[in-house]
Amino acid sequence: MRPCMRNQQRNLRPLSGLLALVLLALSPTSVLAQTQQIPAHPRELKYTTLTYTPPKRDQYRHVLSNGVVAYFVEDHDLPLVNISTLVRTGSYLDPAGKEGLAALTGTQMRVGGTTSKSADEFDEAADFLAANITNFIGPTQGNANLNLLAKDVDQGLALYFDMLRNPRFQEDRIKLAKSQMLQNMERRNDRTDAIEGREWSRLMYGTDHFSTKETTKASIDGITREDMIAFHQRYYQPAGFIFAVSGDFNTKEMLAKLEAATKGWPVNKQAVPSVPKPVNTLVAGVYTVHKADVNQGRVSIGHAGALRDSPDSYALEIMNDILGGGGFTSRIMSRVRSDEGLAYSAGSSFGLGVYYPGNFRASFQSKNPTASQAIDIVMEEINRVRATKVTDEELETAKNSAIEVFPRIFATAAQVASTFAQDEYTKRPADYWTTYRDRIRAITADDVQRVAQKYLQPDKLVVLVVGNIDEIGKGNPDKPQYSLLKIAKDGQIRRIPLPDPLTMVYPSNP
Amino acid sequence: MKKTSLSLLALLLCVQFAAAQKVPVQEMVLDNGMRLLLVPRKGDPNVAAGWVARVGSVNERPGITGLSHLFEHMMFKGTHAVGTKNIDENLKLIKEMDTVRVELRQEEQTLIRKARLGEISDNKDPKYRSQRHKELLARFNELTKREKDLMVKDEFDRIYTTAGGSGMNAGTSTDFTVYFINVPANKLELWFWMESDRLRNPVFREFYSERDVVHEERRLRTDSTPTGKFNEQYESMFWQSSPYGWPVVGWPSDLEGITREEALDYFAVNYAPNNLTACLVGDVDPVRAKELAQQYFGRLPRGPRSPEPVRTSEMPQLAEKRMVAWAETVPQVRVRYHTVAEGHADDFTLDILASLLSGRTGRLYKSLVLQQSVANSAGAGQDGRKYEGLFELNGVAKPGKTPEEVEQALYKEIERMQKELVDANELQKVKNQYAANNFRGIQSNFGLMVQLLLRDNNRGWETINTDPARHQAVTPEDIRRVANTHFKPENRTIAIYYTKKKADGAVDDPALAGLTDQEKIQIGQMKGMLSQAKAEQIKMMLSRFEQQASSAPADKQNFFKVVKKMLEDRLKQLEGGNQ
């Protein structure tokens, strides 16, 4: 052995580095190593116990004098600071006919300058500071982020709050953004993955829910600068904020900085409307979208899921892990990919929604002749996890994995801050993380079967296939027992046409 | 890649480092030549663990393209100890399967020959198979079934998953193959056990069905995306002699033909410890880690011979190359120049030059998107690889503009770089970003682990601490010099993407209705030229053009009409002082 230690100019962690040097000098490593036996199988390896206590929410939680909640997690290893603001808003608040307003407001706040700085001036100032500033509005949340070197934090905060408080919404930037949006809109029917995602949501949540409302040329054309100003004024005010700060800063000082930045900013207590739930009746069956030019079908199979705060969520997590969520140790991956070589990626997710039930979805991509066979296998596995108990080994693997991987949720200061801020935003029960591992430990094979029977409903499955349906329909001449038609229990293969990408009107006769 | 996309690695590779802080790496070299890098860090009780084999598709040859990547998949199939109920039976069975495969290959080659001579239409159609061929397939399927019965399915994955391993994956690139995972701090020995075991005694189970999985991966990434297959062709056109010309996933004909024997030969040389570096970052005790490295990796025998560097280098390009594709995508252009390999002095300058051009305050966005309104987006980047390098500029045309107009506008910005010195402030802005990105890139244990491995794969991990100063040292004169050295017209390769016609025959620009695809391309190219031309030149073109039009055949009249209108419009625009 030729251990070679490099001396470093500056250690990231001087203490542990120094300690390591001392220890190395003392231990006769090579002698020790050679005398040890290597076990024949890893099951014979012995491990020390690892005790881990997750961080406590209250330890990091602070409330500003105006009532805004902020999480501060210090970490002085690297001279970086990250400041994140969650904003109570979302595209679910888009007025009918102005789809795209929330998203456009979010991006234009960032790129359209501020009342005191033109768009160019703002961008130049941010780039010269090497400050990464982002702002966007998603379906049920707005998020503004600032990441920069600690030495520049005051200048960075000034820019960041100028953006949050005084956006200019410069006309030429709005025009450019609309042109880019329209260009991308025209390409909506190009990619089979994009088509699959869009149609899956429509099948799951119906066409009246905000989550499936698409922008159109008319809705984008109709959005004005005044609309954006009004949208910003309504939602971007401290009562809607939660801060998450991590990195190289001092909590007391940062608290004062945030106080100063939000001082005099009117706190609007007007309640933000709640997120609407979908009203949709799923119609089970086989749905297809034809795309001639591809040699692989994309398939999604599933139905409605459950709520995140459901007491069954833990058992559902384990059940799905065994069925298709656990990668190579899960049943769907093992059969579709490793056994048969029918797909590169295959698996399932069980959606646990915060505001309304998510959806259960098994998916894979397979070449035209074998797509139907793979669907058959997935259906079989859905039936099997309901019909028979999972094995002890499977249960053990899934539970152990969830428990052992748990500390990674809080691996970095930024993760601690953002996890707690998100929990605050979505009103997650405060004891969730402290009780999580015990709740997982308590799950039995009976629990898994019970939730499988309760939440997986084979006769309600929706099957969506996007690809060359003519070819997929032909199946595999060597294996005529598998066919799309046989999968459709009502004998019907429904065709979903491609919509006009600018109006999103679906032709009635495909 | 086993599970995730290659873009993650591309992203990691792009992260840059600055000079301010040194990463304290402890290095150890075993007697068999294997290298181990350690960075103990406090934080959560986990270790980011991985290793790299200094081999990628650049080390392949025609006939075995895609082997590095297929091999990466095979490394998860278990070993003598993991993944089987009876290893002796298992090995006997594998031998038998390979014997059947040799005969099957002869049958397949007969069919390939027949297809080549046009005697049959498709060598894969089962109806052309001989009786012997069918018997062999049946025999092989039976052996596959027996192999399955002997297997402990996905035991390799199960052991890690049960122990709390997470994020296990692997990736293959042109220059490297990397394997990684996060393990809980108390499972460090398990990692040494598992990784040294699969490097010592791998068993390539399910070899032939895994080739099918890779085929699906190819369909997913290359065949079934609007630009995937064209991008592959562009890459192959760009490289003339360099092995960078074939795709990492391999050519389909090679994928179908690769044998287990070829995979084993490849393994013996390229996965020998003297061609590997391992790295641990996180909650790790370096003393214990070194003991374990000695104990576990120390038992791997040195390879039969040292892997040789790639011999074939790229020929200098003598003439511009151009590809024109019709795809279901936005109209866009890519322009590539051959430049220098990773680590060459110009590589750092070209990085800085690319940053000056890119981003929202970069020159391309300001000029092409905001001022000229010719593009909706534009960017640039230097891609220095182990043996060669390239610089790429790209842009998406604004509706009503052509990719050729974007192309010409890109050349204008290149010209500025060749003629003028960049402003000190502008350069400082970019350098500030490199300095901050230095810290961002080493924040996560996992990210740092992969960076160290990839750097060690090329020029050594130490470059993480020495490269930042080289970026900071770039001067305006350096930038002007490299722009003149590399950005020559004969050294470039262009890809033009037009939006493919819709199925119903509608075209995007009504003015171009009725023209052939060829004519539309010509119009597009002319528009590009016109954006450069002066009013006088256009007048001359117009008069020459009118003469030609009078004698042109009837089916060309439409084309001439469109061109004439275009020239007139442009002339009006210039004389009206619009530009």
Q: How many CB atoms lie within 10 A of CB A41?
A: 12
Cβ within 8 Å, pair B219-A411: no
Q: Which residues of B touch A82 (CB under 8 A)?
A: none
Among chain B residues, the shortest Cα distance to A147 is held by B440
- Nearest beta carbon to residue B158 from set A2, A329, A411: A329
Task: Report how far residue A376's alpha carbon sits from residue B276's, in angstroms, rounded to the nearest whole number.
Answer: 43
Nearest CA to B192 among B293, B335, B338? B293
E strand or H helix that includes residue A286 = strand A285-290
Q: What is the dihedral of CA A323, A328, A329, A330, to 10 degrees?
A: 0
Give the pLDDT confidence of B396-454 residue by residue, as tens digits.
Answer: 999 999 999 999 999 999 999 999 999 999 999 999 999 999 999 999 999 999 999 99
Residue A149 to chain B, least CA–CA distance (Å): 6
**Which residues lie across from B325 on neighbouring strands?**
B497
Query: pLDDT tens for residues A220-262?
Result: 999 999 999 999 999 999 999 999 999 999 999 999 999 999 9
Which pair of tokens denotes residue B332? 């866009």
- Any residues with CB less than 8 A from the CB of A507 and at least 6 apart, and which? A497, A499, A500
B3-38 pLDDT, tens digit per residue, is: 333 333 443 443 333 345 689 999 999 999 999 999
Residue B549 token pair:
């039009």
Q: Given this model, what pLDDT does residue A2 score?
A: 28
Contact A365, A296 (CB under 8 A): yes
In this complex, do A404 and B444 lie within 8 Å of one another by their Cβ atoms? no
Considering CB atoms only, which of A20, A111, A400 is closest to B164? A400
C-alpha B337/C-alpha B494 separation (Å) is 9
Tokens for B132?
A: 């012997």
What are the structural domain ranges in chain B?
Answer: 6-84+153-299, 85-150, 321-495, 510-518+533-575
CB contact under 8 A, B44 and A410: yes
Nearest by CB to B22, which of A8, A339, A365?
A8
Query: What is the C-alpha separation between B199 and A12, in angstroms, rounded?
Result: 32
Q: Which residues of B touch A339 (CB under 8 A)?
A: 148, 209
Q: Per the structure block, which two tokens stand in for B455?
A: 């750097």
Q: Are B393 and B378 in contact (CB under 8 A)?
A: yes
The pLDDT confidence band at residue A326, using thresholds 50, 70 and 90, is confident
At B275, the amino acid letter reads N
Alpha carbon separation from B233 to B279, B497, B500 (Å, rounded): 36, 13, 17
Q: Are B317 and B488 in contact (CB under 8 A)?
A: no
Taking each helix axis from N to C end, the angle separating B260-270 and B87-116, rounded to the nearest 10 degrees, works out to: 110
Q: Which of A207, A194, A216 is nearest to A291 (CA)?
A: A194
What secondary structure letter does DSSP report for A501? T
CA dist B276 and B52 (Å) reads: 6
CA gap B228, B239 in Å, rounded: 17
Q: What angle do CA A339, A345, A350 make, to 5 degrees?
A: 105
Q: Do the Cβ atoms of B57 and B137 come closer than 8 Å?
A: no
Chain A residues inside the 8 Å CB shell of B210: 341
Query: Which residues sit opposite B48 in a β-bridge?
Result: B182, B281
**Cβ of A145 under 8 Å from any chain B Cβ?**
no
Q: Helix, strand or coil for residue B380?
A: strand
Strand duo B389-397 + B375-384: pairing: antiparallel
DSSP symbol at A5: P
Strand partners, B499: B327
**Which band of pLDDT confidence, cut at 50, 70 and 90, is reported for residue A293?**
confident
Given CB atoms, is A25 within the 8 Å cutoff of chain B?
A: no
Q: Which of residues 234-273 of A touch B (CB under 8 A)?
A: none
- Per the CB < 8 A criterion, the answer to whether A81 and A245 are in contact is yes
Q: What contacts 24+ positions apart, CB below 8 Å, involve A165-168?
A: A165/A236, A165/A265, A166/A114, A166/A115, A166/A116, A167/A108, A167/A109, A167/A112, A167/A113, A167/A114, A167/A115, A167/A232, A168/A112, A168/A113, A168/A114, A168/A115, A168/A117, A168/A118, A168/A119
DSSP state of B543: H
Alpha helices in B163-206 (DSSP H): 188-200
All residues of chain B having their beta carbon less than 8 Å from the beta carbon of residue A368 are: none
Q: What whole-number distance in Å separates Cα of residue A165 and Cα of residue B579?
A: 37
* Spatial separation of the C-alpha atoms in residues B333 and B497, rounded to whole Å: 6
User: Could you tell me the two tokens for B250?
Assistant: 């391999």
Single-letter residue type at A370: T
Q: How much is the pLDDT for A162? A: 98
What is the per-residue pLDDT across A91-120, written as a single tens digit (0 to 9) for each? 999 999 999 999 999 999 999 999 999 999
| Sequence-distant (≥ 6) Cβ neighbours of residue B452 within 8 angstroms | B23, B25, B37, B39, B279, B281, B461, B464
* pLDDT recorded at residue A18: 32
Shortest CA distance to A296 belongs to which of A361, A374, A201, A362? A374
How far A229 CA sits from the closest chain B CA (Å)? 23
pLDDT at A481 > cutoff 70: yes
Q: Is A419 on the interface with B (CB under 8 A)?
A: no
Q: Bridge partners of B382?
A: B391
What domains sit in chain A, N to C, each tagged with a CATH number? 57-262 (3.30.830.10), 285-495 (3.30.830.10)
Amino acid type, B483: A
Closest partner residue to A397 among B161, B212, B439, by Cβ?
A: B161
| Mean pLDDT, contiguous 10-residue spans, chain B (579 residues) | 39 40 93 97 93 97 94 92 95 94 94 95 91 95 92 91 92 96 96 97 88 81 84 97 96 89 90 97 97 97 91 97 94 98 98 97 97 96 97 96 97 98 97 95 94 97 96 98 98 95 48 65 70 76 73 72 77 62
Q: Which residue has the tokens 């560097």?
A: B309
A485/B55: higher pLDDT: B55
Task: Report the CATH number of the B321-495 domain.
Answer: 3.30.830.10
Contacts of A183 in chain B (CB under 8 A): 330, 376, 396, 398-399
Are the beta carbons of B240 and B490 closer than 8 angstroms? no
Q: Which residues contact B514 (CB under 8 A, 6 or more apart)?
A: B558
Which tokens sit at B413? Answer: 């910005």
Residue B61 CA to residue B68 CA, distance in Å, equals 11
Chain A: closest CA distance from residue B484 (Å): 27
- Reference B457, options B129, B78, B53, B117; nearest CA is B53
- Do B321-495 and B6-84+153-299 fall under one CATH topology? yes
Both tokens of residue A285?
């069956």
- Environment class of A61 (CB within 10 Å of its CB; exposed 0-12, middle 13-18, buried 19+): middle
* Of A329, A451, A344, A443, nearest in space to A394 by CA: A329
Question: Which of B76, B226, B285 is the closest to A191 by Cβ?
Answer: B226
Alpha-carbon gap, residue B12 to B7, rounded angstroms: 9
* Global ipTM: 0.85
CB-side neighbour CA atoms (13 Å) of B398: 17
Residues B25 and A12: their CA atoms lie apart, in Å, by: 10
CA torsion sign for B107, B111, B112, B116 is positive
Q: Å from A299 to nearest chain B CA?
A: 13
Between chains, do A6 and B25 touch, taking CB under 8 Å as contact?
A: yes
| C-alpha dihedral sign at B48, B169, B271, B241 | negative
Contact A42 B190 (CB under 8 A): yes
State whether A397 and B299 contact (CB < 8 Å): no
CA dihedral for B548, B549, B553, B559, sign (positive or negative) = positive
Quote the pLDDT of residue B8. 38
Is residue A4 less than 8 Å (CB to CB) from chain B? yes
Contact (CB<8Å) B217/A41: no
Q: What does B18-70 look like in DSSP terms, one character per residue?
A: -TT-----EEEE-TTS-EEEEEE--SSSEEEEEEEES--GGG--TTSTTHHHH
How far is A80 from A326, CA to CA, in rounded Å?
35
Distance CA B407, CA B461 (A): 38
Q: Torsions phi, psi of B232, nearest 5? A: -60, -45
Task: Measure the CA dihedral B123/B128/B130/B133, to 10°.
Answer: 40
Query: B6-84+153-299 in CATH: which number?
Result: 3.30.830.10
Cβ atoms of residues B55 and B307 within 8 Å? yes
B-proximal residues of A, 299-328, CB under 8 Å: 326-328
Chain B touched by A31 (CB under 8 Å): no
Q: Would you call B30 and A183 a contact, using CB atoms and an 8 Å cutoff?
A: no
Best A185, A329, A474 member to test B by mutation, with max B CBs in 10 Å, is A329
Q: Are B316 and B212 in contact (CB under 8 A)?
A: no
Cβ contact A287:A467 at 8 Å: no
Query: In B442-492, where does DSSP find H-type helix?
Result: 445-458, 463-472, 476-486
Query: In this complex, how many residue pairs, one in chain A and one in chain B, have their CB atoms less than 8 Å apart?
Result: 263
Q: Which residue has the tokens 């428990």?
A: A403
Cβ atoms of B476 and B303 within 8 Å: the answer is no
Q: Check residue A157 and report its DSSP letter.
A: H
Q: What is the residue type of A437?
A: R
